[in-house]
Amino acid sequence: MRRTIFRYSGVVSVALGMLFVPAAAGAQQQPQALSVQQLTSDVYVVTGGGGNSGVVIGADGVVVIDAKTSPESGKALLAEIAKLTPKPVTDVILTHSDGDHVNGLASFPSGVHVIAQQGCRNEMRAALDAGGRGAPPADHMPTKVIAGDLERVTLDGVAFELHHWAPAHTSGDLVVYLPAQKIVFTGDIIASNRPDTLIHLEKHGSSSGWITTVQGVLRLDADRFVPGHGDLQTKADVESRLASVTKKRQQIAALVKEGKSLDEIRTAVGDPAPAAGARGGGFASFTEVVYRELSGG
């Protein structure tokens, strides 16, 4: 197997000592049927069983982007890959640390090369130390850590660009870009099955960092965007989401400056009333995240 790695650009600092939170909303407790969509002759998207996964077939092996939500769904993903090619899975790239993207690693072969951003590895290590969800076995922790804002990697003859512009959905997001194919895997930076953007404050995500990240994504020469959850997106779809989120954040910021309460802001921006004693999907809403960031509350 041929592998070459090229580094580029400076280091983006990320917060250390990450706190663990449970797997992202939508994680499945039972195995879910998987569906395979072909994007090019050697690039596929596998949906179901957790977050969307990418499959890139190279000269001698297979690169997987995100590993599903459980050992069972990870095993099902490997079974689908075996239907596409007899080549072994040699590398896994993680877009972030949420359990529905990493827990399936438990079923991957020993010795698989796992690539993640520094913050992602920190969050996975914290989850492993706590014995909680979101932590694959110790022998499947990331073996290569991305500490800069861009790393160019060639795996099995396929060129990848791994981007980290800022903490966004989590502290350790990676956007995976295939320049020759003009395809971007966004992880949960984009989740088209949710009306609002999800930011994990518990993992030091940032709403302003999300905007910076999506602006970076849109500068890439790409025409297909694979979200962490939901259907394939076009550049126009991503532009529309960026415009909507930016407008909403600006509106929330203005209301915070006026001294409005969180409940008043929710009403003003048209959020549905939160269920008693619960947050949407188990996490703070986008409105609450921005309010807490800007008010210190």
The confidence score (pLDDT) of residue 136 equals: 78
Which residues in the chain come in under a pLDDT of 50? 1-29, 279-280
Distance CA 281, CA 279 (A): 6
The confidence score (pLDDT) of residue 14 equals: 30
Handedness of CA 213, 214, 220, 225 (dihedral sign): positive
Q: Is the pTM of this model over 0.95?
A: no
In the chain, beta strands by DSSP E: 3-11, 35-38, 43-47, 53-57, 62-65, 89-93, 113-117, 144-146, 148-155, 158-163, 175-178, 183-191, 224-229
The confidence score (pLDDT) of residue 173 equals: 98
Whether 20 contacts 130, CB under 8 Å:
yes
The confidence score (pLDDT) of residue 174 equals: 98
By C-alpha distance, which of 44, 66, 38 is closest to 175? 66
The confidence score (pLDDT) of residue 31 equals: 55
Distance CA 148, CA 164 (A): 7
The confidence score (pLDDT) of residue 139 equals: 86
Domain that holds residue 96: 3-234
The confidence score (pLDDT) of residue 135 equals: 75
- Is position 239 within any domain? no
- Is position 269 within any domain? no
The confidence score (pLDDT) of residue 180 equals: 98
Domain tally, the chain: 1
- Is position 268 within any domain? no
Distance CA 23, CA 53 (A): 16
- Is position 247 within any domain? no
Question: Residue 83: which CATH number?
Answer: 3.60.15.10
Given phi > 0 = left and psi -120 to 50 = alpha, else beta, which region is 36? beta
- Is position 9 within any domain? yes
Q: Which amino acid is at 162?
A: L
Distance CA 244, CA 270 (A): 13
- Is position 172 within any domain? yes
By C-alpha distance, which of 99, 177, 110 is closest to 132? 99
Task: Dig out the tokens for 181 from the structure.
Answer: 């194919």
Distance CA 94, CA 288 (A): 27
Q: How crowded is residue 139: how many other Cβ atoms within 10 Å of its Cβ?
A: 12
